[in-house]
Structure 1
Amino acid sequence: MNNKIAVVTIIALIIVSCDQEKNIEFSSESFTEKELSICTNSKCPEVTINYVEVFGDDGVSEKINKKIKNFIFSSLLMGEDTIPTARTIQEAATGFIEAYNADKTQFPDMAGEYFAEISVNEIYSSKGHLCFEMRQYLFTGGAHGYGTTSFLNIDPKTGDELNSNELFKNNKEFTAFAEKKFRAEQKIAKDQSINDNGFWFENDDFYLPESVGFTQDSLIFVYNQYDIASYADGPIELKIAMKEAKPFLSID
């Protein structure tokens, strides 16, 4: 009798466990300055935000959504502050617009209006790995705007960010492999300095950007403007086919 009870209990626990493993789902969301009351009766800088919101396991989705929102908040941050205090996208956008209004009041002849374009897209999804592409482009005065592209890699079971040591078996070996691909693409011979084509790699040593993007077919590395070259050179992208990168990866 006790054995039967034990078996029933185990089955019940398995069913409960399976029920607790909720699938992660994505919803496309958008926001513009037109949704703010501050812009109802006055012209505001354009603020366009397109992003994904994650649903499913509450604890996991909360972690992921917090990382996405923090990127948006940081992108709209103005002034000398480096840590955003906004709790909502509306608050962050309002802060950006108020900063513009203050600058416009102080410098009425300021040429050009501020604007912000921000996007967060899910570009890869599997049972063990999510990858988000995060872009931001802002104009806040001066000769031109400035934009960046970065990537966020997440363990969908925990909501935690996957670092390079968790993504790659051996960072040193993969970086050496990536350098060969970069040199071939940029037509830099093995015996040439990595900076012979006008790049700005510190200490003349090749290195990869801080984040890497994953798609079904390839790995994507983006050097943003000023990372290794001038603004005029634009972003520099290095793509490595997944079939070539697979031997170096720790994840499927």
Structure 2
Amino acid sequence: MNTRITVLALIALITVSCNQEKNIEFSPESFTEKELSICKNSKCPEITINYVEVFGDDEVSKKINKKIKNFIFSSLLMGEDSIPSAKTIQEAATNFIEAYNADKAQFPDMAGDYFAEISVNEIYNSPKHICFEMRQYLFTGGAHGYGTTSFLNLDPKTGDELTSKELFKSNKELVAFAENKFRLQQNIAKNQSINDTGFWFENEKFYLPESVGFTRDSLIFIYNQYDIASYADGPIELKIAMKEAAPFLSID
């Protein structure tokens, strides 16, 4: 009798645990300046935002959505503030438009209208790891616009960002392997300085960008414009096939 009660209690406990562990889901969302009342009767800078919203486990979803929204808010931030005060995408977009209107009023001959293109896409998803690709491209005056690509790697069970130590076994060994790949890609011989072909690596020492992306097939490193080369050189991408990268990974 006691054995039966124990078994039933164990089954109940497992059932409750399974029910508590909710899977998160992704929903594609979009926003443009046309949704704002401020743009109904006046011309506004073009703003195009495509992103994902996370649903499921309330606590985890809230954490992830906050990180995604903060990226969008920061991308639209104008002026000297380094920390966005906006609480919604609509508010962040309105602030961007108001900054443009103020600049246009001060400099009526300003060439070109401001615009912003922002995207957040889920590019890898497993039970232990989610990777988001985050892109932004803005024109806010000057000779040209400026864009960046970064990645956000998260633990889907907690919503917390995965550290380099949680992702890789040995950063030193990975950097050495990646340098060989980079030199082959850029036609830089082993006995040449890493900057001989015009790169800007500090102290002529190769290093990887802080942000790394994951897909099913590849490990992706992107040096944005001005990171290691001029604007004209554009973003520089280094891809390592996942089969080759696997020995360096701490996570599946």
Q: Structure 1 residues 21-30 or 137-146, which shifts more?
A: 21-30
Provide TM-score, normalisation by structure 1: 0.99
User: What is the CA distance between 1:22 and its match in structure 2?
Assistant: 1.2
Aligned to 1:127: 127
Secondary structure of 2:104's counterpart equals helix
User: What is the CA distance between 1:149 and its match in structure 2?
Assistant: 0.3
Q: Structure 1 residues 4-13 or 103-112, which shifts more?
A: 4-13
* Cα offsets for 1:22-73 (capped at 9, x unmatched): 1111100000000001111110000000000111111111111110000000
Alignment of 1:93-112 (within 5 A): 93-112=93-112
Matched length: 252
Provide TM-score, normalisation by structure 2: 0.99
User: What is the CA distance between 1:163 and its match in structure 2?
Assistant: 1.4
User: What is the CA distance between 1:21 and its match in structure 2?
Assistant: 1.4
User: What is the CA distance between 1:122 and its match in structure 2?
Assistant: 0.3
User: What is the CA distance between 1:240 and its match in structure 2?
Assistant: 0.3
Aligned to 1:50: 50
* Cα offsets for 1:129-178 (capped at 9, x unmatched): 10000000000000000000000001101111111111100001100100
Confirm or deny that 1:160 pairs with 2:160: yes
Alignment of 1:1-252 (within 5 A): 1-252=1-252
Q: Partners in 2 of 1:226 and 1:143 — Cα distance?
A: 15
User: What is the CA distance between 1:20 and its match in structure 2?
Assistant: 1.2
Q: Structure 1 residues 97-106 or 8-17, which shifts more?
A: 8-17
Q: Which amino acid aligns with 2:75?
A: S
Runs of 5+ consecutive residues of structure 1 not aligned to the other structure: none
Q: Partners in 2 of 1:85 and 1:17 — Cα distance?
A: 38
User: What is the CA distance between 1:7 and its match in structure 2?
Assistant: 2.3
Identity of aligned residues (%): 84
Secondary structure of 1:101's counterpart equals helix
Runs of 5+ consecutive residues of structure 2 not aligned to the other structure: none
Q: Which amino acid aligns with 1:79?
A: G
Q: Partners in 2 of 1:216 and 1:5 — Cα distance?
A: 45
Q: Partners in 1 of 2:212 and 2:106 — Cα distance?
A: 41
Q: Give me the CA root mean square deviation.
A: 0.8
User: What is the CA distance between 1:195 and its match in structure 2?
Assistant: 0.4
User: What is the CA distance between 1:228 and its match in structure 2?
Assistant: 0.2
Secondary structure of 2:232's counterpart equals helix
Q: Partners in 2 of 1:164 and 1:190 — Cα distance?
A: 27
Q: Which amino acid aligns with 1:36?
A: L
Q: Partners in 2 of 1:89 and 1:187 — Cα distance?
A: 44
Q: Partners in 1 of 2:30 and 2:188 — Cα distance?
A: 43
